[in-house]
Structure 1
């Protein structure tokens, strides 16, 4: 099992696939990459036990088909500073030793039998299939992931909820304080076998976003317990979060009658500046809407610091003073790409809605944020 492969191509692919693996592994074999030569292709597998990525790399030449486990950390560190050039891998099938030769040197290490590498790489049993564009998939994860919970006491909310209903692809996440719900059209290149409902853990969601490049079509194979996302040269298999995701549509208010339209960049910049002077403990930003302006302020009583800025806006409704956690505000505003943002409120103790002001009718972005209690 000898083969020649580009150093930069292999190094880049291994660095990408190392994100699947855990630094501390329960099973030592999960600290290895599985290399499999099949025809003119090098198939590489990396896994943490729950999430497995399989990728294909072109090779310059091969001697024969075969497979071997190679230590991930050692191989990554060894290839880190090798410039672009062909690498020749010479594998001894009798003792699993590997010699890697390049232009002006070589290094060798000990591999491991592939028989020890037992991971799930595909769905077992029946499954459904949907197809979606990688650009929509990447956008959906980017605009939703900030709202995912990190509290292990509520594991069902530690993921992104994917649904297909009535011909629309909807993605949602919530941690109880903030909610993101984004809806995208099912275009001509997007297909679904019917309604879909998946709760994808955050780790595979990030990996899916990294693999969703270009204009490729992504096949999603799934059942109640597991899913496989198939890209042009990669496949990601992982376990789903099992359970019932909360009915997030039920908590979205329908009668927020106080509406402000503000320049998104100006508001974001003001929050970042004023936030320096707000309380480190609470991180509260106070917004006072009145007439054609909003006053953004922050205060830290413990250190006797405060700041405020006035931003012009379009506002309809009675005067209102409402407080938000500055980090949550920043995250919501940074996910939008529109020039202006619409904020809908009812009173200082009820959820506010944030939506981008845009002519885009096919995509519906909505974020909900619970306020913090402040004095009028």
Structure 2
């Protein structure tokens, strides 16, 4: 195998596939990047069996061949080489020689025939969505993935195509995040994708209008980008019926400026860091929201203007849960719907139906 490739192209390919290499696999071969040089391009693959990423890089291939090379050392070498063309060739003793300007590295490689093949996915049943929309949807839900390993299904994100809508849903028992986008398809599908996989997918996606083709099987999901394929194992089991968790009625509605609310909560939370509750109290009156927090550190009082429909209320929250929601919303104004000081609060954007969040309050000791 002999090829010559521009450093920045090779490095970009390595950094994409490295996202699938955890170093936790019992198979040593999966610590490596699979490289196949053929027909003027390199095919790179990284995998931990649950998540596999394949990408192609344009290259001057002089002699076809395939190898597997330790991802960590290969990535570090390429990163530190000069910004110039890199020549890589196989030599004796199962080694490759990496040459760039005056630098020469000899590195041992592994046998490519031992590398597991990627799952075969029939790409007939597929939906299409733009990169920027999918990236935004993942960002707007992934913060609510459960960290608790006792309910593995909640460590995933529900990926639901239904009634010409794509819905991404995450919940952890304290908050629920739902993002929806119109999708011109008649396909109905419901799968649960490991949350950590989708977070890695979002790092590869860019803020552009290029199309991502998404294909499903019973066990896997495939995201097909321009030069990159991401294949993930699906989680077994049925996701929680999230619609049943969203209250159908409310007794009061608050219309408030999102940035002012976020700023007020961020300042109040500075005094709420005592312990892990991050407790802040909201006192909602006819035209004012008073945010307070008392701890051993001291106390704070913040005021934000609002418009209220319904009765006045006192309610308390973990400030972090509210901030996670507000940071992932885009509208200037948000709507908060509540029924009592101990029932869930639903937060929506004023002018958009695409986001819906539910946050449980903290019960106050009387």
TM-score by length of 1: 0.93
Q: Does 1:204 align with 2:165?
A: no
SS of 1:204's equivalent? helix
1:173-204: per-residue Cα shift (whole Å, max 9, x none)? 11111001121111xxx5x4610111110122
Helix, strand or coil at the partner of 1:63: strand
User: Residues 54 and 121 of structure 1 are in contact (CA less than 8 Å); yes or no, is this contact kept in structure 2?
Assistant: no
Instruction: Describe the SS at the equivalent of 2:336.
Output: strand
2:175 maps to 1:181: no
2:230 and 2:22 map into 1 onto residues whose CA distance is 16
Out of 224, 241, 245, the residue aligned to residue 247 of structure 1 is 241
Question: Matched residue pairs, number?
Answer: 364
Question: Partners of 2:76 and 2:312 in 1: how far apart?
Answer: 60
1:153-164 aligned within 5 A = 153-164=150-161
Give the Cα–Cα distance (whole angstroms) in 1 for the partners of residues 117 and 283 of structure 2. 56
How far residue 304 of structure 1 moved from its aligned partner, in angstroms, is 5.5
Q: Distance in 2 between matches of 1:21 and 1:316?
A: 52
Q: Cα deviations across residues 224-257 of structure 1 (Å, max 9, x unaligned)?
A: 2111111100001111011111111011111112
* Runs of 4+ residues deviating >6 angstroms: none
Secondary structure of 1:143's counterpart equals helix
2:271·2:297 contact (CA, 8 Å) conserved in 1?
A: no
Q: Which residue matches 1:299?
A: 294
SS in 2 for 1:310: strand
Match of 1:114 among 112, 115, 136: 112
Q: What corresponds to 2:147 in structure 1?
A: 150
Distance in 2, matches of 1:138 and 1:126, equals 21
Match of 2:48 in 1: 48
Q: Which structure 2 residues correspond to residues 214-229 of structure 1 after superposition, within 5 A?
A: 214-229=208-223
Structural mapping, 1:333-344, within 5 Å: 333-344=326-337
How far residue 121 of structure 1 moved from its aligned partner, in angstroms, is 4.2
Q: Which residue of 2 aligns with 1:374?
A: 364
Alpha-carbon shift at residue 316 of structure 1 (Å): 1.6
- The residue that corresponds to 1:20 in the other structure is 20
Q: CA RMSD in A?
A: 1.6
**Alpha carbons of structure 1 residues 281 and 194: separation in structure 2 relative to 1, 3 Å:** closer
Instruction: Give the CA deviation at 1:355.
Output: 0.5
Aligned to 2:66: 67
Q: CA deviation at 1:2?
A: 0.3
Which stretches in structure 2 are left out of the alignment for 5+ residues? none
Q: Is contact 1:52-1:121 (8 Å) kept?
A: no
Tell me, in whole angstroms, the C-alpha distance in 1 between the residues paired with 2:202 and 2:246.
Answer: 27
Equivalent of 1:195 in 188, 200, 206:
188
C-alpha distance in 2 between matches for 1:120 and 1:35: 14
Deviations 1:312-371 (A, max 9, x none): 11112211000110110100000001111111100001011001122x4xx521100110
Query: 1:147–1:178: 8 Å Cα contact kept in structure 2?
Result: yes
SS in structure 1 opposite 2:292?
strand
Please give the secondary structure, in 2, of the residue aligned with 1:147.
coil
Instruction: Measure, in 2, the Cα distance between the counterparts of 1:366 and 1:71.
Output: 43
> Structure 1: which 5+ runs fail to align?
none
Does the 8 A contact of 1:128 with 1:193 survive in 2? Answer: no
Distance in 1 (CA, whole Å) between partners of 2:223 and 2:94 is: 32
1:126 and 1:224 map into 2 onto residues whose CA distance is 13
User: C-alpha displacement at 1:262, in angstroms?
Assistant: 1.1
Q: Which residue of 2 aligns with 1:134?
A: 131
Alpha carbons of 1:304 and 1:239: their partners in 2 closer, same or farther (altered >3 Å)?
closer
Partner Cα distance (1:290, 1:330) in 2: 21
TM-score scaled by structure 2?
A: 0.95
Alignment map for 1:302-313 (pairs within 5 Å):
303=296, 305-313=298-306
Distance 1:172 1:15 in 2: 28
Distance in 2 between residues matched to 1:41 and 1:270, nearest whole Å: 53
Is residue 354 of structure 2 the alignment partner of residue 354 of structure 1? no
Partners of 1:307 and 1:34 lie apart in 2 by 56
